[in-house]
Amino acid sequence: MSLIILTWAVFIQTLRYDFVNYDDPSYVYQNTTITSGINLANLAWAFTHIHSENWHPLTTITHMLDCQLYGLSAGWHHFTNVLLHAIAVVLLFLALQQMTGALWRSAFVSAVFAVHPLHVESVAWIAERKDVLSAFFFMLTLLAYLHYTRTPSIGRYLTLALVVLLGLMSKPMLVTLPFVLLLLDYWPLGRIEAHRSNTGRQVLHLVLEKIPLIMLSAVSSIVTILAQRGAIGWTEQLPVSERISNAIVTYVVYIRQMFWPAGLAVFYPHPENRLPIWEISLALIVLGGITAAAFVLRKKAPYFVTGWLWYLGMLVPVIGLLQVGWQGHADRYTYLPQIGLYIAVTWAVTDLTRLWRFQRKALGAVAVLIVGALSCRAWLQTSYWRDSETLFTHALAVTSNNDVALNNLGIIFLDKGQLDAAISKLQAAIDLRPENAPAHDNLAKALLKKGQLAEAMVHYRKFLELEPANVEARNTLGTVLIQQGHVKEAIEQWREALATQPDNGNAASNLAWVFATCPEDSIRNGAQAVELAEKAFRISGGKIPMIYRVLAAAYAETGRFADAVDTAQRGAELATVQRNPALAAELENNIALYRSGSPQRDPTITNGSSSPDAE
């Protein structure tokens, strides 16, 4: 109960916090499949589609369930995260206590896991549901494995495999779980006895025992690599030497942050080639020294080698050897791996002080101070997650060269209509990293809102150079080109959009309008206009009155004036129902034009205004 109270005392503040504009949109509130809640089609989608460059169907389903139960009330989504974290804390305590028989040491490790500031990101960030959900299944795996080892049976092994599978479907980082179980065989379970002559056969037997679990991990790894192949593209831009150097330093950075969790941020820029040789060398010496000590002391302090290899091994999938994104490291990656360090340090300190006369009282007092200090720091760190502006302003304050924080602040100012501030932040992000594609996209949007069309086009072109498959940007660029009188180039952009995404109603509608209404005879094409307009109409489901306007114009261009009148009338009625009197009035004017046997002509296409947009 004390562990639950401690956890909620730190994280209950998140129940009044909002979503943030970093991953939360794609994971939850801008993903219509998620927001529509639980149904058979959505459940099938969760298992057969990639969600935010990951395949984690159980995590996806929990987001759907939250939307089903709570809508987009962010506080309740936070509630689920905290609840899962609290349960994981209790399960960790039960697993450690039952494996080791050490009540207070298990309680201390669990308390540190509950409130360490490095874990704030995993709990306070709704998009990191995968962390707390996978932690729940990770702890269940420990208990299921303990249950199996005490009385092995096929039923208990199948239960263990099922829990591992559920964990992998929550977050694929759990691919290292079979390795962790093998470490537990050494200590505390004692299934590998180092002093026996048949140790090699013991190890082989225990490895073979885990082959089915390793196979599950292998499949999960392959699926993850396929799912993240777009994001893993950053690997090609970071030389192997830079990735290895950063991985070595990051292992030590996480240790430092464990003991001194200050200056934590939602995003740490990758150092690329900026790491000094002395820092890499020192980190390598530290890692090598600790590893050597762990093996030398493995008989006297078996918990040390288990805890240390737990930490090293669990971080392998996220240490940056395969780079996903531009972060140098991330707090959330320590969520489960650092449990190994907590165990190693806690048991080591207890052993080193066993001859103290007042050991229990002294260590008890120190434990209370440590947990209290971590709780206060975690409370403060959690407070930065209250909203996006606070989160990224803090990130800028404690990091340098942070183009991601600048980009996200730019988005915030853009949404607020503070265009000058948005442009300033976004340009600063691009100055730091010219290949920051989202910054180019957002800067183009800000410049477009400010009426600086030529400047906006520059950044849309750069964005599409970096992300050529982005259909939304092509649609927008096409509209800007039309406004500047570049009709043929606009047509090419919309055709590219349809080539990338054939069912894009926006591009189809825009092309149909130009082919139906352009004053230039060489550009108009009535047959294509009808084909594209009917396609846009099918995609829209007949629910967008502007599409009726486009379709009517296409019919008129081919001489089907009766169809044009009928379509425009239905569009006017729909516009009236949707309380869009301006469009309804325009469609009534179009009806009069079609009844007179005249097609529609849009002079603004060539002299620099806009074409209708399907969205």
Please name each of the domains of the chain with its CATH number. Answer: 2-384 (no CATH), 485-615 (1.25.40.10)
Average pLDDT estimate for 359-381: 96
The CA-atom distances, in angstroms, between 497 and each of 185, 457, 469, 478, 511 are: 55, 16, 8, 10, 11
| Residue for token pair 């060398």 | 281
Average pLDDT estimate for 330-357: 96
Q: Has residue 407 got a pLDDT over 60?
A: yes
Find the distance separating the first CA and the last CA of the chain, reported in whole Å: 52
Average pLDDT estimate for 538-558: 96
Which pLDDT value is given to residue 234? 56
How far apart CA 14 and CA 81 sit, in angstroms, is: 10
Give the DSSP letter of residue 468.
T
Which pLDDT value is given to residue 614? 43
Give the DSSP letter of residue 484.
T
Q: Has residue 611 got a pLDDT over 50?
A: no
Asked if 19 and 126 count as a contact pair (C-beta separation under 8 A), the reply is yes
Q: Has residue 610 got a pLDDT over 50?
A: no
Q: Has residue 237 got a pLDDT over 80?
A: no
Among 105, 196, 181, residue whose Cα is nearest residue 143: 181
How far apart CA 376 and CA 197 sit, in angstroms, is: 50
Half-sphere exposure of 365 (CA within 13 A, CB side): 4
Provide the 3-class DSSP secondary structure of residue 328. Answer: strand
Least confident of 158-167, 225-234, 346-355, 568-577: 225-234
The pLDDT confidence band at residue 225, using thresholds 50, 70 and 90, is: confident
Averaged pLDDT of the chain: 94
Q: Has residue 615 got a pLDDT over 50?
A: no
The structure's pTM equals: 0.89
Which pLDDT value is given to residue 193? 79
- Amino acid identity for residue 561 in this structure: F
Average pLDDT estimate for 347-367: 93
Give the DSSP letter of residue 27.
I
Q: Any idea what the Cα angle at residue 81 is, between residues 80 and 85, rounded to 5°?
A: 115
How far apart CA 125 and CA 265 sit, in angstroms, is: 12
Average pLDDT estimate for 215-223: 95
Q: Please give the backbone phi and psi of residue 51, each rounded to the nearest 5 degrees, phi first.
A: -115, 110
The pLDDT confidence band at residue 547, using thresholds 50, 70 and 90, is: very high
Q: Before 188, cis peptide (omega within 30)?
A: yes
The pLDDT confidence band at residue 235, using thresholds 50, 70 and 90, is: low
Q: Has residue 177 got a pLDDT over 60?
A: yes
For residue 258, give both structure tokens. Answer: 């464990």
Which pLDDT value is given to residue 444? 96
274-279, long-range: CB within 8 Å, 24+ apart, which pairs?
Answer: 275/242, 275/245, 275/246, 275/249, 279/249
Which pLDDT value is given to residue 233? 46
Give the DSSP letter of residue 51.
S
Q: Please give the backbone phi and psi of residue 302, each rounded to the nearest 5 degrees, phi first.
A: -60, -25
Among 315, 225, 237, 311, residue whose Cα is nearest residue 272: 237
